[in-house]
A and B are shown apart, each in its own frame.
Chain A
Amino acid sequence: MPNMFHLLPVEAYTSQDWYLREQREIFSKTWRYAGFMEDLSEPGQYMAVQAGLNNIFIVMGRDRRLRAFHNICRHRGTQLIRAVGKTQKALTCPYHDWTYDLEGNLISVPEEQEEFGQVDKACLGLKPAKVDLWNSMIFVHPDPNAPSIGEWFSPVEEYIGPHIPEELVEYEELNQSYEIKANWKVVVENYIDVYHLSHLHSNTLQMYDHKAAEYHWEGPHFVFWEPPSAEYLENQDSKLIAPRVIPKDLNGAWVPMLFPGIGLTGSEDGWNIFIVEPLGPERTRVLNRGRVSDSSGWKFAKQAVTSSMFWTKLGLSGKYERHDAMGDDDPMVAGDFTGEDIYACEQQQKSLHSPYFETGPAAAGESPVIHHQKVVLEWLGEGR
């Protein structure tokens, strides 16, 4: 009997084999975040993104439509495609200059006569992938015939919050990316663990009433909402750090975790994304970006000044006092909830290697963790 981490064997969190299975069965078969819509907003702009085992190339035409292709030149299979040209763009591989049009048709093979005799260009177009926009984000799917992104996310749309991200503007200082030395599921399961909010984050997220949280699953997607605490709610507009972005009757923190690893965090004054990307069995990248109200700098300044008193008084602080610190940079003392989460995830990952590893009972507030493991098992073809 292998050591178990609730429903999954420990090796699901540590082995290369599981990592590759998940890359193949989950991350290559679902919609993958590629960027904000602003990232490709002018004709000719392009980017490439890794979606599971697939590298996908996205480019915008002069019709402002996005096209997505597998970044594999049909000649030697090299992942080198780029978009070149002044106004009329072509997709080309610099290796041997095979060139495709914006629909992926192979239009030119250098020295075709001398080198090949003849090449059947019609059979050698770039392989298409699917691309779409949803909630101001660009998503790609490796399968061009995948169901629409509307179908994939429509069950959660009514639960993810009233934010209209297309009407908010990116606040670039929120843009960060960091690696966590833990399996991606540890990171996701921490994000959806309701029980830990009052404990690990006792002094960093206390402005929300965790006991009143409402959460459930819609298919593979987790949805979560919790109201502001009574203290935060009272005269709340003077306490928001940035101008309000949602109506008061829909107050609260809206924190869904869409599958796989697509976290959103909407609140009264902002909207953020938390994208989880597995890099290896025990390495995960998290990308954060955020949007705020499209208001003047003056409004932001005013909001920052009026709210500062509340936050000073509330006293966001570390879980432990300075005298209990395990060093100068102990995340349990620093008072930053992201640092607290990273620390917990990495310590969890370390423990998985102990021959003595064993879990106790899961709390009611940890039921999402168990459910997420079920979802993973189902996608790997091992569900009931």
Chain B
Amino acid sequence: MSTSAFHSLKVLDTRDEIGGMAKTVLFDVPRDLRETFRWRPGQHLSFRFFVDGQEQRRSYSISSSPFTGEPMRITVKRVKRGRVSRHINDTLKKGDLVEVMSPKGNFCLDPDARARRTHYFFGAGSGITPLYSMLSSVITAEPHSFAHLAYGNRNEKSILLEEDLEALAALNEDRMSLHHILSRPGWWSSADTWRTGIVDKAAIETLFEEEPPYAQDTQYYVCGPGDMNYAVREALMSLDVPASRIHMESYGGSKELDASVEEVEGVGATARVTLNGSQYSVGVNRGQTLLEAARAAGLTPPFSCQSGVCGTCRGKLTEGKVHLRARMALEDADLRDGAILTCQSVPTTQSLSLTYD
């Protein structure tokens, strides 16, 4: 049978969430479709609805774990002018039949009973749905592992699956932690708010400080709306997390997200170099570092390790821009002041001014 075929599933039950602003829909998967609808934590379902006579297709992440014995379910937030989300929230009820494709997606966490890992989850809004499936799967089916969730929402009334999360955390205090981040918390807060703001670098750094990984095989899962995924990914990478450990739903065709690109070639440029009180004009070939160019021009600038580690070749950029391949010897504040490591700098503008003095 084609995996893109639609099947009819009966709605087992529905449950209102966050004061009627979202709905959880549970499905009854009959015995002969169990295999077809076997899902991995993190996968989603594609639906076909007919709303006002028009066919509409949507995908929603499965918000339950295949390891806990719960029914397969989705949790859908009501979106203003969202035809399908309103249809689901307003009309779908117990006993209805819906058309669904088998579960798909590679943003998955497959638990391993023998593994001992620390899983960090970063979510916001509806992004919690696949993360909840992953998180509850880890707790159920990966007994030696740990899980930490940083979950961003607007306020305490918009926290999806809050009760499920709190219940899970209360039963597993020794290996799970829950961190609510609210961008606009209300006067009174039912949720135990951890921070105000968004899931950003400062929040992530604080989370690592408060909940450092115990199991050292760490994995990071990100799911949120809009630009959050890339911002979190960039923040994680700036905190030394290797890209290979970061998992996020890839919606394809995204921006140049990778700040980690090693071999930036830069552009050919002319640099005005001040060294020991004298000024020189130095041609820099594409792919050449400022240090290499200066030495090729017969200058004797200071340098040592050529690895970006020692800081000997440090200079200050007063005009133009460079790409720094590595910057171990510099702090963020140094960078803001224009400091560069000439052994690691390739020009990205055609004209630069640099001083060693």
Contacts and interface: CB of A to CB of B under 8 A. Distances in A.
Interface stretch (B8-16, B59-67, B80-88, B233-241): B233-241
B209 to A, nearest CB: 7
Contacts of B228: none
Contacts of B208: 62-64
A65 B216 contact: yes
Given A84-B328, A85-B329, A132-B116, A92 B214 contact: no
A92 B309 contact: yes
B114 A150 contact: yes
Interface of A (DSSP majority class) = loop
B306 A111 contact: yes
B309 A90 contact: yes
Contact of A148 (B115, B309, B327): B115
B227 interface: no
B305 A110 contact: yes
Interface residues of A, number: 34
B215 interface: yes
Interface in A72-116: 84-90, 92, 97-99, 102-103, 107-108, 110-111
A62 B239 contact: yes
Contacts of A88: 240, 326-328, 330
Contacts of A63: 208, 213, 218, 236, 239-241
B307 interface: yes
Interface of B (DSSP majority class) = loop
A85 B328 contact: yes
A108 B308 contact: yes
B240 A62 contact: yes
A332 interface: no
B306 to A, nearest CB: 4
A97 B144 contact: no
Nearest to A86: B331
A84 B325 CA distance: 16
Contact of A131 (B144, B216, B308, B329): B216
Nearest to A152: B116
B215 A133 contact: yes
Contacts of B306: 97, 108, 110-111
Interface of B: 114-116, 144, 205, 208-209, 212-218, 236, 239-242, 262, 304-310, 325-332
> Closest 8 interchain pairs by CB?
A85-B328, A61-B240, A99-B307, A108-B307, A150-B116, A150-B144, A64-B212, A148-B116
25 contacts: A61-B240, A62-B240, A63-B218, A63-B240, A64-B208, A64-B209, A65-B241, A84-B309, A84-B310, A85-B328, A86-B330, A86-B331, A88-B327, A90-B308, A90-B328, A92-B309, A97-B309, A110-B305, A110-B306, A132-B215, A149-B116, A150-B115, A150-B116, A151-B114, A154-B144
